[in-house]
């Protein structure tokens, strides 16, 4: 018997373990994964790119401005029905009877289904849904449904909910739930005794809304067969088919999700949601396509919001600027949900610290992830407190921050921002400028992760006629995914933006991660780059005979030409050497092409009319590091967007709840005041090019954190009035000035 | 939006008839005239109004003209806010009126919204605007704003309802002594604007003015006067891009040759269920120079009788500032 020789095994590629973020419902969690240690070519120096790190106009821009881009909201299918949701008008209730007889008899009404909730814990909770031939008939049908409610006691304001005798949001459970205790209270108390000054404050941040221009919803195209197509306004193409298949009773593989264009998510659109559940069930029952997009009213009261916060902070500081201790009592105000709030002292070193974190429940729609969940809230409070400490010991707020932040990047960014805003013009005496129109400046700092994970699978196809396709199922939320996906491939192959076509937003294409936690660019771009490099090498091998047989890595792809050994052919000539079916490469994620960890510093200048309380934002500056900027135009847009949303939270926006009725009073764009064009200050988005990391990092969230603190602190510098309750509106300024006999001045 | 019948009559009399026949009577369900539709349509979309019929006024001739002679400015009810704001004669002889028109909403809304419609806007109170809330003004038994979230509500003339009137034209037109021509089932009548708006404690609690369901405003008349030539409108918005007044001041002054005040009108907006004239403040100014101390004093007098609710005391210092600044501006022109 012949002895079998052991077959020579290819030695396994060396692996290493790294930690990456994974996003669940918009909130990132760190997990450990194994990746190859052997890496391919990198991005190269940030200043050597031909397309990336330049200003590239959005490839879908013309379609969007001409109205040719089709959103889920625009879908209109033959035989399509319109779904509408009936909401509970009480802060807390049970449905004892649902009489649909009259509603179902209305001409055009095709289906009425009851919702899954037995106890409705907030006004706006979905009770039932209707499908009808027009949205108007569906609206009339909702009003023809007779619901009998057992109305239960409710509580909607946190300061009421914390009382021991408050109505319970969940029976038998306290509204106040302890979540964490960290640090050593005794040590902190001892350290307070060594402080030269102490500041104590109570900070409230309001619940704001995502205010996506396209509301939540989907179109379910199911007609009774074995498969379905779904058009969804979602942040995750691949978060749709599984849940939808369950509701439709189909195989997951038979449900295709499509997200061609979508109108904003900001963390609020993962999975099918309750509106998607209704849409699927209505479609299944009627065997007809159903479009169910939330109305704007629905969107406000049942599609989530940013967690509110209530924070009681106390800190001690020495005259040299050293913060010695902090104690914090933090309430997360997430309605019926858990809420979110980063732990204090957030990014500062504050000596001996102690914190207690609670969830404090109210009868309100659950908060959900919103752009940097929990961070603007914590940042607003700590940046206000840090500012107060600085004024208390008469130290410049910029110098004070440098003193308490070790990271050199913050120092660099603070200096840059101070120069850009003109910090030297600032009156160090808060409220010290003459006249009723008082100007002031403030600053704040922030941080975010922004690393990627290994979920994206990208195909690059080059055809014999020179056409190039890049395909991946990812979604473009308006964040420019399409544009950089195309740009990476075009740059790698040395061709123009218009020579590449991207296919995205479809679950039939390669896998991609949901867009949350600023993970899209650092997850997707390495896979696109990997696929593009592989396509280039495959093509180089094919064209080598035409160029004197160079090694593939010696072939240069540049300016629409393919060259080596002093010979050059055009892109089209090179493509002609490909096989009839063209070539397709397959890209996977590479950890070395991305990184994690950004800073970010904001400055703001405002003018406050102390006789009317009117705040005029004058100028905002935000400096953001982010490794390799894939597209400078997009990155600046992201920074501007972060500044604008912060402006809204600082001065204009906020959910108003009525204690007696338990309802939101401003569920529309009339009374929920988003900042408009006339509120915009001069905005200066600065990309920190001193960050030389040759890696892609997500920055969308980093730039919404510190602008809020900068604005709030600017109001103090202007007026000498410290308002710790957002939003800072004229009534609060006027009442504050009327009630403050001694204005704290630096 | 509830289904409704659409009619498009060619004459006013036909329109009045269409507003009268088969009317359910209830203001929220009765037939309604529609011009620009900028307020009406929002209430219909929210189901807070459910008119069985809309009577389109835009096919009726002669309602969209501005005419100005030596004595009087006549503004057709269908004149758009943009047309009013841009009219050269209005800008010259009634600057406060042009300013008031310009302060309204957005350019898009001003292009469609009409002068008549502006005077007939329903309240912005969020309790009133929510379909689910049946407040006093919708036939319920309670004004939720009285003890609830009343930041935007009345500091004058409130009770039992605490709405504020949302019109920006109304305070200015009232300050300028305007009258309105109304045609209804009983024919034509001319109503001085100071008799047009009704307090909740005086008139029908479901309405904000003396109009009946079948009444149509056809024209607004404003006398040419030295007061009008020295008029101004100062509106305070929390959000400049698009907002209603938290408070506003419509003022008009006539100065004697020695620069003392011969005559003055001060009407406040955004602070009461009707445009709120402050005669005591007007009287105080007579014979005085508009000095800083006089201006400070007149602001205090204008707000002396204010009765703020829990969350709107800020309107007192705010409105004082507006009165002072508006008079300073009108006096210096």
A266-309 pLDDT, tens digit per residue, is 999 999 999 999 999 999 999 999 999 999 999 999 999 999 99
Residue A2 has pLDDT above 60, yes or no: no
Predicted local distance difference test score (pLDDT) of residue A78: 97
Q: Which stretches of A115-193 are assigned E, i.e. beta strand? A: 119-120, 126-132, 146-151, 176-183
Q: Are residues A435 and A312 in the same domain?
A: yes
The C-alpha of A141 sits at a distance from chain B's nearest C-alpha, in angstroms, of 10
- Please state, as a whole number, how many other Cβ atoms lie within 10 Å of the Cβ of residue A9: 6
Cross-chain Cβ contact A730/B149 below 8 Å: no
Cross-chain Cβ contact B318/A613 below 8 Å: yes
Cross-strand bridge partners of residue B232: B251
Predicted local distance difference test score (pLDDT) of residue A25: 66
Residue A529 has pLDDT above 60, yes or no: yes
**A370-396 mean pLDDT:** 97
Cross-chain Cβ contact B321/A731 below 8 Å: no
Cross-chain Cβ contact B241/A679 below 8 Å: yes
The C-alpha of A132 sits at a distance from chain B's nearest C-alpha, in angstroms, of 14
Residue A11 has pLDDT above 70, yes or no: no
**A665 touching B, CB under 8 A?**
yes
Assign residue A329 the CATH number of its domain.
3.30.365.10
**B149 touching A, CB under 8 A?**
yes
Are A700 and A433 in contact, with CB atoms under 8 Å apart?
A: no
Count the domains in chain A.
3
Residue B247 has pLDDT above 90, yes or no: yes
Tokens of B48: 């807070």
B311-320 pLDDT, tens digit per residue, is 999 999 999 9
Residue A38 has pLDDT above 50, yes or no: yes
**B142 touching A, CB under 8 A?**
no
Q: Are residues A48 and A114 in the same domain?
A: no
Predicted local distance difference test score (pLDDT) of residue B153: 98
- Please state, as a whole number, how many other Cβ atoms lie within 10 Å of the Cβ of residue A252: 12
Residue A650 has pLDDT above 60, yes or no: yes
Cross-chain Cβ contact A676/B312 below 8 Å: no
Residue A446 has pLDDT above 70, yes or no: yes
Q: For B191-291, where are the alpha helices, taking DSSP H only?
A: 226-229, 279-285
Predicted local distance difference test score (pLDDT) of residue A26: 64
Which residue among B126, B312, B321 sits closest to A671, beta carbon to beta carbon?
Answer: B126
Predicted local distance difference test score (pLDDT) of residue B203: 86
**Domains in chain B: ranges and CATH:** 66-120+164-223 (3.30.465.10), 226-332 (3.30.390.50)
Residue A313 lies in a domain: yes
Q: Quick one: three-class SS letters along A50-100? A: CCCCCCCCCCCHHHHHCCCCCEHHHCCCCCCEEEEEEECCCCCEEEEEEEC
Using CA atoms, how far apart are residues B110 and B84, in angstroms rounded to an integer?
Answer: 10
Residue B32 has pLDDT above 50, yes or no: yes
Predicted local distance difference test score (pLDDT) of residue B25: 86
Predicted local distance difference test score (pLDDT) of residue A742: 39
Residue A15 lies in a domain: no
Residue A8 lies in a domain: no
**A24 touching B, CB under 8 A?**
no
Residue of B nearest to A613 (CA): B318
The C-alpha of B110 sits at a distance from chain A's nearest C-alpha, in angstroms, of 16
**A195-219 mean pLDDT:** 98
Residue A315 has pLDDT above 60, yes or no: yes
Q: Are residues A637 and A681 in the same domain?
A: yes
Q: For residue B171, what pLDDT band results from cuts at 50, 70 and 90?
A: very high
Average pLDDT in chain A: 95
Strand order in the sheet with A126-132: A109-114, A126-132, A81-87, A290-293, A217-221, A228-232, A255-258
Residue A10 lies in a domain: no
Cross-chain Cβ contact B239/A659 below 8 Å: no
Q: Are residues A148 and A272 in the same domain?
A: yes
B61-93 pLDDT, tens digit per residue, is 999 999 999 999 999 999 999 999 999 999 999
Residue A140 with chain B: CB contacts under 8 Å: 2-3
Residue A213 has pLDDT above 50, yes or no: yes
The C-alpha of B271 sits at a distance from chain A's nearest C-alpha, in angstroms, of 14
Predicted local distance difference test score (pLDDT) of residue A1: 46
**B257 touching A, CB under 8 A?**
no
**Coil, strand or helix at A389:** helix
Q: Are residues A63 and A83 in the same domain?
A: no
Which residue among A666, A670, A730 sits closest to B238, beta carbon to beta carbon?
Answer: A730
Give residue for tokens 């037995």.
Answer: A118
Residue B314 with chain A: CB contacts under 8 Å: 613, 730-731, 734-735, 738
Cross-chain Cβ contact A661/B148 below 8 Å: yes
Residue A181 class from Cβ within 10 Å (0-12 exposed, 13-18 middle, 19+ buried)? exposed
Q: Are residues A227 and A277 in the same domain?
A: yes
Cross-chain Cβ contact A730/B241 below 8 Å: no
Q: Are residues A522 and A548 in the same domain?
A: yes
**B132 touching A, CB under 8 A?**
yes
A588-603 pLDDT, tens digit per residue, is 999 999 999 999 999 9
Using CA atoms, how far apart are residues A386 and A443, in angstroms rounded to an integer?
Answer: 10
- Please state, as a whole number, how many other Cβ atoms lie within 10 Å of the Cβ of residue B112: 16
**B52 touching A, CB under 8 A?**
no
**A671 touching B, CB under 8 A?**
yes
Residue A627 has pLDDT above 90, yes or no: yes
Predicted local distance difference test score (pLDDT) of residue A3: 53
**A184-206 mean pLDDT:** 98
Using CA atoms, how far apart are residues A608 and A22, in angstroms rounded to an integer?
Answer: 43
The C-alpha of A616 sits at a distance from chain B's nearest C-alpha, in angstroms, of 10
Residue B161 has pLDDT above 60, yes or no: yes
Q: Are residues A487 and A607 in the same domain?
A: no
Cross-strand bridge partners of residue A360: A176
Which residue among A143, A656, A670 sits closest to B47, beta carbon to beta carbon?
Answer: A143
Which residue among A661, A671, A730 sits closest to B314, beta carbon to beta carbon?
Answer: A730
Which residue among B147, B236, B240 sits closest to A679, beta carbon to beta carbon?
Answer: B240
Predicted local distance difference test score (pLDDT) of residue B204: 94
Q: Are residues A255 and A229 in the same domain?
A: yes
Model ipTM value: 0.97
Residue of A106, A135, A144, A671 to mutate when probing chain B, most B C-beta within 10 A: A671
Higher pLDDT, A3 or A48: A48
Residue A552 has pLDDT above 60, yes or no: yes
CA angle B97, B100, B103 (to 5 degrees): 150
Cross-chain Cβ contact B133/A735 below 8 Å: no
Range 292-351 of A in CB contact (< 8 A) with B: 297
Q: Are residues A601 and A685 in the same domain?
A: yes
Cross-chain Cβ contact B47/A730 below 8 Å: no
Q: Quick one: three-class SS letters along A546-612? A: HHCCCCHHHCEEECCEEEECCEEEEHHHHHHCCCCCCEEEEECCCHHHECCCECCEEEEEEEEECCC
Which residue among A666, A671, A731 sits closest to B314, beta carbon to beta carbon?
Answer: A731
Range 614-643 of A in CB contact (< 8 A) with B: 614
Instruction: Judge if the upstream peptide bond of residue A622 is cis by omega within 30 degrees of 0.
Output: no
Which residue among B129, B147, B238 sits closest to A729, beta carbon to beta carbon?
Answer: B238
The C-alpha of A731 sits at a distance from chain B's nearest C-alpha, in angstroms, of 5
**B317 touching A, CB under 8 A?**
yes
Residue of B nearest to A135 (CA): B1
Residue B132 with chain A: CB contacts under 8 Å: 89, 123, 663
Q: Are residues A675 and A656 in the same domain?
A: yes
Tokens of A277: 């559940």
Using CA atoms, how far apart are residues B116 and A607, in angstroms rounded to an integer?
Answer: 37
Of A562, A589, A616, the position where a domain reaches its end is A589
**B129 touching A, CB under 8 A?**
yes
Contacts of A511 (CB under 8 A, 6+ apart): A238, A455, A456, A457, A472, A473
**B107 touching A, CB under 8 A?**
no
As a whole number of Å, the CA-based R_g of chain A is 28
Using CA atoms, how far apart are residues A495 and A576, in angstroms rounded to an integer?
Answer: 15
Residue A171 lies in a domain: no
A49 lies in which domain range?
23-70+452-589
Average pLDDT in chain B: 97
**B242 touching A, CB under 8 A?**
yes
Using CA atoms, how far apart are residues B118 and B122, in angstroms rounded to an integer?
Answer: 9
B39-65 pLDDT, tens digit per residue, is 999 999 999 999 999 999 999 999 999
Are A658 and B148 in contact, with CB atoms under 8 Å apart?
A: yes
Give the number of beta-carbon pairs within 8 Å between A and B.
85
Residue A189 lies in a domain: no
Dihedral-angle region of residue A217 (phi above 0 means left; psi in -120 to 50 means alpha; beta otherwise): left
Of A589, A616, A644, the position where a domain reaches its end is A589
Residue A165 lies in a domain: no
**A408 touching B, CB under 8 A?**
no
Cross-chain Cβ contact A730/B144 below 8 Å: no
Residue of B nearest to A667 (CA): B130
B267-287 pLDDT, tens digit per residue, is 999 999 999 999 999 999 999
Q: Are residues A719 and A606 in the same domain?
A: yes
Residue of A nearest to B149 (CA): A658
Residue of B nearest to A436 (CA): B321
Predicted local distance difference test score (pLDDT) of residue A745: 33
Contacts of B236 (CB under 8 A, 6+ apart): A612, A614, A730, B245, B246, B247, B248, B270, B318, B322
Of A293, A318, A349, the position where a domain reaches its end is A293
The C-alpha of A257 sits at a distance from chain B's nearest C-alpha, in angstroms, of 32
Residue A170 lies in a domain: no
**A58-87 mean pLDDT:** 97
**B313 touching A, CB under 8 A?**
yes
**B257-266 mean pLDDT:** 97
Predicted local distance difference test score (pLDDT) of residue A27: 66
Predicted local distance difference test score (pLDDT) of residue A746: 31
Using CA atoms, how far apart are residues A677 and A680, in angstroms rounded to an integer?
Answer: 6
Are B115 and B169 in contact, with CB atoms under 8 Å apart?
A: yes
């Amino acid at each position: 018997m012949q002895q079998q020789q052991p077959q020579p095994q290819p030695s396994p590629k060396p692996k290493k373990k790294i930690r990456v973020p994974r996003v669940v419902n918009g909130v990132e969690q760190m997990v450990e994964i194994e990746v190859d240690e052997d890496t391919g070519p990198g991005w190269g120096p940030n200043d050597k790119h031909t397309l990336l790190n330049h200003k590239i106009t959005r490839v879908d821009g013309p379609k969007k401005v001409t109205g040719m881009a089709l959103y889920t909201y625009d879908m209109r299918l033959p035989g399509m029905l319109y779904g509408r949701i009936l909401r509970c008008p009480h802060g807390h209730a049970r449905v004892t009877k649902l009489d649909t007889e009259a509603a179902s008899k209305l001409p055009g009404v095709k289906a009425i289904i009851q919702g899954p909730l037995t106890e409705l814990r907030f006004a706006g909770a979905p009770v039932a849904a209707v499908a009808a031939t027009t949205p108007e008939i569906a609206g009339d049908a909702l009003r023809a449904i007779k619901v009998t409610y057992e109305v239960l006691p409710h509580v909607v304001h946190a300061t009421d909910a914390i009382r021991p005798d408050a109505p319970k949001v969940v029976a038998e459970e306290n509204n106040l739930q302890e979540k964490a205790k960290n640090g050593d209270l005794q040590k902190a108390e001892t350290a307070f005794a060594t402080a030269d000054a102490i500041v104590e404050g109570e900070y409230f941040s309001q619940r704001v809304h995502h205010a996506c221009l396209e509301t939540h919803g989907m179109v379910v195209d199911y007609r009774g067969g074995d498969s379905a197509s779904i058009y969804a306004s979602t942040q995750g193409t691949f978060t749709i088919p599984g849940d939808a298949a369950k509701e439709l009773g189909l195989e997951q593989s038979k449900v295709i999700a499509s997200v061609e264009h979508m109108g904003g998510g900001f963390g609020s659109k993962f999975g099918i949601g309750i509106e998607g559940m209704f849409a699927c069930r209505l479609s299944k029952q009627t065997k007809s396509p159903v479009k169910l997009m939330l109305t704007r009213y629905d969107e406000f009261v049942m599609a989530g919001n940013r967690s509110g916060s209530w924070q009681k902070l106390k800190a001690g500081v020495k005259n040299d600027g050293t913060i010695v201790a902090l104690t914090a009592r933090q309430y997360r105000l997430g309605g019926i949900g858990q809420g979110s709030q980063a732990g204090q002292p957030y990014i500062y070193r504050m000596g001996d610290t102690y914190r207690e974190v609670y969830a404090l429940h109210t009868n309100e729609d659950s908060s959900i992830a919103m752009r940097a969940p929990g961070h603007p809230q914590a940042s607003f409070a700590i940046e206000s407190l840090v500012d107060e400490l600085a004024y208390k010991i008469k130290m410049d707020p910029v110098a004070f921050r440098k003193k308490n932040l070790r990271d050199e990047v913050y120092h660099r960014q603070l200096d840059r921002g101070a120069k850009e805003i003109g910090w030297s013009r600032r009156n160090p005496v808060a409220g010290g400028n003459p006249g009723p129109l008082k100007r002031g400046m403030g600053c704040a700092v922030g941080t975010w992760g922004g690393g990627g994970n290994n979920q994206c699978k990208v195909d690059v196809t080059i055809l014999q006629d020179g056409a190039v396709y890049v395909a991946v199922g990812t979604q473009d939320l308006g964040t420019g995914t399409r544009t950089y996906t195309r740009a990476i491939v075009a740059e790698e192959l040395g061709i123009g933006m218009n020579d590449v076509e991207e296919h995205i937003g479809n679950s039939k294409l390669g896998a991609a991660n949901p867009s949350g936690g600023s993970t899209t660019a650092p997850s997707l771009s390495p896979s696109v780059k990997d696929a593009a490099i592989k396509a280039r090498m495959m093509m180089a091998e094919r064209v080598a005979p035409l160029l004197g047989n160079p090694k593939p890595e010696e072939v240069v792809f540049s300016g629409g030409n393919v060259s080596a050994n002093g010979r050059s052919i055009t892109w089209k000539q090179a493509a002609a050497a490909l096989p009839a079916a063209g070539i397709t490469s397959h890209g996977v994620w590479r950890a070395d092409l991305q990184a994690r960890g950004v800073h970010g510093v904001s400055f703001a200048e405002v003018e406050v009319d102390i006789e009317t309380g009117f705040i005029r934002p004058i100028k905002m500056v935000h400096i953001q590091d982010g490794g390799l900027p894939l597209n400078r135009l997009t990155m600046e847009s992201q920074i501007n967007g972060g500044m604008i949303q912060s402006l809204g939270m600082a001065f204009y926006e906020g959910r108003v709840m009525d204690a007696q009725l338990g309802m939101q009073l401003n569920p529309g764009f009339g009374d929920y005041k988003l900042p408009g064009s006339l509120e915009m200050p001069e905005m200066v988005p600065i990309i920190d090019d001193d960050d030389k990391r040759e890696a892609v990092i997500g920055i969308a969230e980093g730039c919404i954190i510190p602008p809020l603190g900068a604005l709030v602190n600017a109001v103090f510098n202007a007026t000498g009035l410290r308002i710790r309750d957002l939003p800072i509106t004229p009534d609060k300024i006027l009442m504050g000035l009327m009630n403050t006999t001694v204005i704290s001045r630096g | 939006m509830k289904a409704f019948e659409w009619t498009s009559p060619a004459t006013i009399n036909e329109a009045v008839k269409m507003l009268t026949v088969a009317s359910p009577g209830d203001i929220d369900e009765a037939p309604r005239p529609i011009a620009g539709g900028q307020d009406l349509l929002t209430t219909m979309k929210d189901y807070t109004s459910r008119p069985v019929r809309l009577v389109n006024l835009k096919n009726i001739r002669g309602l969209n003209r501005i005419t100005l002679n030596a004595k009087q400015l006549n503004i057709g009810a269908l004149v758009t806010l943009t047309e009013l704001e841009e009219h050269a004669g209005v800008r010259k002889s009634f600057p406060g009126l042009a300013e008031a028109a310009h302060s309204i909403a957005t350019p898009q809304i001003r292009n469609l919204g009409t002068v008549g419609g502006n005077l007939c806007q329903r309240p912005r109170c969020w309790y009133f605007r929510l379909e689910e809330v049946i407040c006093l003004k919708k036939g319920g038994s309670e004004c939720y704003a009285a003890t609830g979230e009343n930041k935007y509500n009345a500091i004058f003339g409130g009770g039992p309802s605490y709405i504020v009137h949302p019109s920006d034209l109304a305070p200015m037109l009232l300050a300028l002594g305007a009258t309105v021509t109304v045609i209804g089932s009983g024919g034509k009548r001319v109503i001085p604007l100071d008799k047009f708006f009704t307090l909740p404690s005086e008139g029908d609690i479901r309405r904000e003015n003396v109009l009946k369901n079948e009444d149509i405003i056809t024209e607004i008349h404003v006398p040419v006067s030295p007061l009008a030539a020295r008029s101004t409108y100062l509106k305070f918005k929390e959000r400049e891009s698009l907002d209603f007044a938290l408070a506003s001041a419509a003022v008009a002054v006539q100065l004697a040759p020695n620069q003392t005040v011969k005559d003055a009108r001060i009407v406040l907006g955004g602070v009461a269920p009707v445009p709120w004239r402050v005669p005591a403040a007007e009287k105080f100014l007579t014979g005085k120079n508009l000095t800083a101390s006089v201006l400070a004093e007149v602001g205090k007098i204008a707000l002396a009788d204010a009765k703020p609710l829990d969350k709107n005391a800020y309107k007192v210092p705010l409105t004082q500032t507006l009165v002072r600044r508006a008079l300073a501006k009108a006096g210096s022109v």
